[in-house]
Chains A and B, each alone.
Chain A
């Protein structure tokens, strides 16, 4: 009973304190200010194997920044599943960090909230100007024609990872360049408990990334010029069906992958149960699962023609993390300095090397670390054949509705229900209707 009473008192006091700080806690009216010039709060996304690892990696860099500028950075590393909700809460209450990481697919949605500092010419010049950055990466920072809502920090793209040994055993001499080759190779491998390709059927974001790249190859954009959803266009339906058919018709994906959502497909790959996965920067995960770098190879994600490029030859969504400044910051000057620091050539080299991502700052790409078998493919994909997801305010809804449709279709395929053009169209139709309020 005493414990219960103590709990109630604690809860009410906390609630009161929260309410009080909500009313009285001051953001200076009119947004950005410089009234606390010696500290910054930074919300970093979880990039490394875990939150602790990120703190270890970023800690010394933040100290370096403090030595250079006298500004102390308070770091909080936020796991992916919580990050968007934390940003939403911060946006609603106005009580956010000074500087934060966002997933680049959220750029347009978060831009629409008006909570992020727009990077107009003056702000961009303060960090060295547009030209320092990879153009497609900068395209993924908000709606076209508006000032960017964030600056690219770590860039990523999809590649095809394959198990060299399993390829050799099946008598395959080189990785597939087209989907037909991939299916043929997959069929040769998919025997006796081994499977050709891995998928994360329960992971909405991954589903959407694969559907988007395949959609491009079928000439579908999922949205028309005025921003209306076109999920049931022939191209979109064909793209999603092609992806599901790897399990339903070609049978090169194990049915169990339909419920994967915690990167189990990577473990299957590392333990030799699956021969191929389509993934972004998987090297560290493979190493963590005990796979040596010379046991796997990397190739560009297949395209129908065999040569990745722009438009219908797109073979990856443009993935990555952006860094943004919260409009309510108490230290605009410091925040800009911090972004300058994080996007400087040397920090870009160091951090991207550690995380296995590619620097969106082109000058930083010269390091040999970005010329390994995997990073070279990722780098070239980013420069040549990756396209950002539609930069629209409804991106988050798109991710959920179409991602769920793909998840449901995988569940159908896994359960042995027929997956037809009509059934794909019906699921996507439902997703499309959910977009219209």
Chain B
């Protein structure tokens, strides 16, 4: 009797976990496995109705995808480089802006609540509406951006295009940072609340100024939060689909051809689902490696710091 009871007690947590595990399987793993299977198939519109019947292609899709001398691979590599640059810049700028704003708003002053609310607005707006508004503002002839830059401040020679050519990268970056940085702000602000006030008081007594306090107390205390924040921001930027899609539509300019759009175009616009799946799998692998490497590096750093 007692063994049964013990067994039951030991098994109970697993039993309770089971529904969650099943859901996890259905929601995440199944589509992922299907995606991986698809990447080995020659899946075009001809087999869309019954994709299981599509012929196997072995590593063919991957070979096409990584062959940088042919157009598919060459454009994918280009898109990869663009995405890396875009992600690093977005994460960096979002973190800087978010941290600066959060530290600035630590002090209690009149209008602090209002400022906080204003800073969080982009995060609360529906993305589609916000980005389409940016798309209007970036229009060459009637947009607000050129109106301010050219007509009012006379900063540019002519009216530059923002949604075409090389400038499109800048436009994309501005919108992405605008919509993402409030999240960094929110997270850092929450973390700041957890730093004991007496640390600052003690430091002030010892004669440490603002800059020194930030360097010696604030930033080290934020370290664990920052590790997660940077990772999440990076994964989001790397996979960002909404911003480029709403700004540029199905075919982004070369300078702003993010991987997510590129893969979408390869799969759903040119109906080449096999190649698209192969690209997705490669992207997944890359992100896994980056994440694992990052976690390993940062946790080792923390151990050193703790010791």
Task: Report the minimal beta-carbon distance from B156 to chain A, rounded to whole angstroms.
Answer: 13
Mask for B17-53, Cβ within 8 A of A = 1, else 0?
A: 0000001001100100000000000001110111100
In the bound complex, CA of A437 to CA of B163 (Å): 29
Bitwise, B133-166 to A at CB < 8 A (1) or not (0) is 0000001110000000000000000010101110
A23 to B82, CA, bound (A): 40
Provide the bound-state CA to CA distance between A76 and B270, in Å. Answer: 26
Contact between chains at B271 and A414 (CB < 8 Å): no
Within 8 A of B (CB), among A414-432: 414-415, 430
A310 is an interface residue with CB less than 8 A from chain B: no
Interface residues of A in 174-201 (CB under 8 A from B): none
Residues of B within 8 A of A407 (CB): 251
Decide: B70 and A433 in contact? CB cutoff 8 A. yes
Q: Mark A196-234, 1 if CB is under 8 A from B, else 0.
A: 000000101000000000000000000000000000000
Chain B 268-297 per-residue mask, 1 if CB under 8 angstroms from chain A, else 0 = 111110010000000000000000000000
Q: Which of A15, A115, A437 contacts B48 (CB under 8 A)? A: A115
Would you call the interface of chain B mostly helix, strand, loop, or mixed?
A: loop
Give A393 to B272 CA distance when docked, in angstroms: 12
Q: Is B240 an interface residue (CB 8 A)?
A: no
Interface contact A397-B26, CB-CB below 8 Å = no
**Pair A434/B71 contact, Cβ less than 8 Å:** yes
B175 within 8 Å of A by Cβ?
no
Tell whether A258 pairs with B26 under 8 Å between CB atoms, given A113-B49, A396-B271, A434-B270: no
Kindly provide the distance from the CB of B278 to the nearest chain A CB, expressed in whole angstroms: 12
Is the beta-carbon distance between B45 and A259 smaller than 8 angstroms?
Answer: no
Residues in B neighbouring A430, C-beta threshold 8 A: 71
A400→B161 contact, CB < 8 A: no
Q: Are B164 and A258 in contact (CB under 8 A)?
A: yes
Q: Which residues of A contact B161 (CB under 8 A)?
A: 258-259, 411, 414-415
Minimum C-beta distance from A143 to chain B (A): 12
Report yes or no: A411 in contact with B253, Cβ–Cβ below 8 A.
Answer: yes
**Of B26, B159, B163, which one neighbours A19 at CB under 8 angstroms?**
B26
B49 close to A115 (CB less than 8 A)? yes
For B20, the closest partner residue in chain A by CB is A12
Contacts of A408 in B (CB 8 A): 253-254
Q: What are 27 contact pairs spanning A and B, CB under 8 A? A: A12-B27, A88-B48, A88-B271, A92-B49, A112-B45, A114-B49, A114-B50, A202-B249, A254-B141, A255-B140, A256-B159, A393-B46, A394-B271, A397-B270, A400-B269, A403-B251, A407-B251, A408-B253, A411-B165, A411-B253, A414-B164, A415-B165, A433-B71, A434-B71, A434-B72, A434-B75, A437-B44
- Contact surface of A with B, Cβ cutoff 8 Å: 12, 15-16, 19, 85, 88, 91-92, 94, 109-110, 112-115, 202, 204, 254-256, 258-259, 261, 393-394, 396-397, 400-401, 403-404, 407-408, 411, 414-415, 430, 433-434, 437
Closest 3 CB pairs of A and B: A433-B71, A256-B141, A411-B164
